[in-house]
Amino acid sequence: MKRSTKIISVVIIFFLIIAAVVIGRTMIGNHFKKKFSKRPPPGIIVTTVNEKIFENKIETFGTAIPIRTRSYKIEKYEILESLKFNEKIKKGELLANLKNRKILAPFDGVLGKRDFSDDLNVSQSSIVINIEDASILFVDVDIPEIFAPFIQEGLPVDIKFSGNKEKTYNGIVESIASRINTEKRSLSTRVKLDNLNLDILPGSLLEITIKYNARTSLSIPDTSVILEGNKVYTYKVDKENVTQRTEIKIGSRNQGYLEVKSGLNAGETIVAEGLKKVRPNGKIKPMKKGEKSSGSSWKKKKDDKKK
């Protein structure tokens, strides 16, 4: 009898210990859950859906050609005075003073020299001088025929060259061919560029970007989208600062912005950065770029309490 009483007592004590552990863990869990549930919503950078100008682009390369050039072959023994190569010369000024003649500049330009490198005998006795007017440059490019319906005279063109890639020069489509080149399957196009400061030398290889189909469309930063397969998503933010995952259709990209074709309306607020912190139907604290997140101040308070 005494033995059975002892067994019962041990069992009761065992279950009481288990119950105490379970209750204690539950109370501790509820304590920490309540404590950490007070954490404020994350500070997320947001922006407004606005309109922006977008345009399609055709990118290619071409060689700079001066608007005017004139060449003269002269014998070295004829030269009476040294020639002023690579200097600006006005129309009517002396290009070359020779024994039997004087060559005057037919237009404003820069005097240059071209040797007969293919024939040593000729290059030893003769030189070819040329005056080039590079105040206006032309660039002849071949545009693939699939773009032919979009090419028109007067279209704006952005131009860069290797000597100064930080600067963009403005040009226009000056003229286009009347038919497709059947061998290249392309449309010959001439671009015109003002070069009054002579920044670009004739013969330079230029990067040509022809812009067409300019239009005004809704735009959002390219950091505000999530790509999943063929679908694109962003997070809209409502008046209660709750985020809603929204599928959108996008078009062209322009200087860090995406064209929005559908899924958003002008004036709506969306998450601009920090998408990894955002959850569907989750609450956030909207912030402008440059503001400090409230999460950092919460973390600081937590660290201060530990100290």
pLDDT in tens, 125-159: 888 899 999 999 999 999 999 999 999 999 999 99
Residue 269 has φ and ψ, to the nearest 5°, of: -100, 135
Does 5 or 111 have the greater pLDDT score?
111
Residue 66 has φ and ψ, to the nearest 5°, of: -70, 155
Does 183 or 16 have the greater pLDDT score?
183
pLDDT of amino acid 110: 93
**Is 253 among the domain residues?**
yes
Q: What is the tens place of the pLDDT at every residue in 238-251?
A: 999 999 999 999 99
Q: Domain count for the chain, please give it.
A: 1
CATH classification of the domain holding 268 = 2.40.420.20
Does 298 or 244 have the greater pLDDT score?
244
Host domain of residue 272: 43-54+216-293
Which residues are 129's β-sheet partners? 72, 113
**Is 270 among the domain residues?**
yes
Close Cβ partners of 5 (under 8 Å, ≥ 6 residues apart): none
**Is 21 among the domain residues?**
no
**Is 229 among the domain residues?**
yes
Q: Give percent above pLDDT 90 in the chain.
A: 57
Q: Contact, 164 vs 147, CB < 8 A? A: no
Which residues are 257's β-sheet partners? 221, 254
How many Cβ atoms are within 10 Å of 30's Cβ, its own excluded? 10
pLDDT of amino acid 76: 87
**Is 274 among the domain residues?**
yes
Q: Shortest CA distance to 128 belongs to which of 76, 200, 202, 59?
A: 76
**Is 163 among the domain residues?**
no
Helix (H, G, I), strand (E, B) or coil at 150: helix
Structure tokens at 239: 């008046």
Q: What is the tens place of the pLDDT at every residue in 274-284?
A: 888 898 999 99
**Is 258 among the domain residues?**
yes
Report d(CA 145, CA 176) in Å as an integer. Answer: 12
pTM exceeds 0.85, yes or no:
no
pLDDT of amino acid 290: 63
For the segment 69-98, the average pLDDT, to the nearest whole number, is 90
**Is 171 among the domain residues?**
no
Query: Is the per-residue pLDDT at 80 higher than 80?
Result: yes
The residue behind tokens 């200087």 is 255
